[in-house]
A = this chain, B = another copy of it.
Amino acid sequence: MRKGNLMSVRPDIKVLDATIRDGGLCNNFEFSDEFVRELYKANIKCGVDYMEFGYKASRQLFKEEDFGKWKFCKEEDLRAIVGDNISDMKISVMADVGRCDFKEDFLPKSESVIDMVRVACYIHQIPAAIEMIEHFHSLGYETTCNIMAISQAGTSQVEEALNMLCQSSVNVIYLVDSYGSLYPENASELSKIYINAAEKVGKSVGFHAHNNQNLAFANTIDTLSYGVSYLDTTVQGIGRGAGNCATELLLGFLKNPKYNLYSILTFIEKYMLPLKETVSWGYDLQYMFTGQLNRHPRDAMSFSADGRKDYCEFYKYLLDNE
């Protein structure tokens, strides 16, 4: 049932660094160009397969002056960092269903340094996601569909969603544990369902973890052992709320010698430690609560933003407002 073992190399594995995109949710996408450029260089040295630069958010819905540039990932901003991206590492951006002017904001692939567009949606938005995916394919991009908040979907919904996606042009179907509420046993059961459906039609499966219960890394390597091949990580786990699976944990685990831990350590020492002084993320009790209760982390994020430490009151509030 497991694919490979703890000693073997799985050539199908792709590590996707989502530091700027998911981490951008912690600092309003306000990373300096130096930060992004040094991360780009570090990722290349470490053998990372894809680097996600941010969102392609609608400039009609969101004002450019309210956010850092990585919420919009304009072609010229990407090129200011990567030039023509002559590296082997591919570049991805995320497009949210309903928050993206996908017909206007994407160049044909031949004119863009973007390689892959990841379409994020809730499970009821799959038809809208597929419309976007087909558009991106017609432009020449690789695509993924990241179905969020999967821990709240029913089995038949999941089956139907997979069914629809398997008939589309999408390359990778992502299992997204948005609430950090999956245990490895759940995550791997779900991933087996995804893999069974995807493999038949030559598609791959990805996993995006959240660390609410300190299980982001564990869930990532458990699903990978059952055949998930696209693995999202962020440096030091930076990401909304409890954050994500840490790149350095995964790079230390993978056996393929193309992956290398050292370069990301240099980046951490020089860029992440100073960032941590002003931006906060990571496992804490308030996120554990929402993970255990299978809830959106928004209340926990407000709790953090308000600098509250009255965990008991907050827990009672959550129980009273299920």
Nearest CB of B to A281, in Å: 14
A279 contacts the other chain (Cβ, under 8 Å)?
no
A219 to B186, CA, bound (A): 15
Known A-B contacts A217-B214, A309-B269; the reply to A184 vs B222 at CB < 8 A is: yes
Q: Which of B183, B219, B246, B252 contacts A6 (CB 8 A)?
A: B183
Residue of B nearest to A266 (CB): B312
Residue of B nearest to A270 (CB): B312
Nearest CB of B to A54, in Å: 26
Contact A186 B249 (CB under 8 A): no
Contact B214 A246 (CB under 8 A): yes
Contact A315 B184 (CB under 8 A): no
Contact B265 A315 (CB under 8 A): yes
A6 to B215, CA, bound (A): 15
Contact A184 B184 (CB under 8 A): yes
Contacts of A268 in B (CB 8 A): 285, 311
Contact A217 B215 (CB under 8 A): yes
Q: Which of B184, B253, B261 contacts A221 (CB 8 A)?
A: B184
Contact B6 A221 (CB under 8 A): no
Report the count of interface residues on A (CB-CB < 8 A). 38
Count of this chain's copies in the oligomeric assembly: 2
A288 contacts the other chain (Cβ, under 8 Å)?
yes
Q: Which of A103-151 contact B (CB under 8 A)?
A: none
Contact B183 A288 (CB under 8 A): no
A292 to B246, CA, bound (A): 14
A262 contacts the other chain (Cβ, under 8 Å)?
yes
Contact B311 A265 (CB under 8 A): yes
Q: Which of A260-288 contact B (CB under 8 A)?
A: 261-262, 265-266, 268-269, 273, 285, 288
Known A-B contacts A183-B221, A292-B252; the reply to A312 vs B273 at CB < 8 A is: no
Nearest CB of B to A277, in Å: 12
Contacts of A253 in B (CB 8 A): 183, 213, 292
A185 contacts the other chain (Cβ, under 8 Å)?
yes
A225 contacts the other chain (Cβ, under 8 Å)?
yes
List 11 additional contacts besides A214-B214, A215-B218; criterion CB under 8 Å.
A2-B185, A6-B186, A183-B253, A213-B253, A214-B246, A215-B217, A218-B219, A249-B288, A252-B288, A268-B285, A269-B310
Cβ-closest 3 pairs across A and B = A218-B218, A252-B292, A265-B312
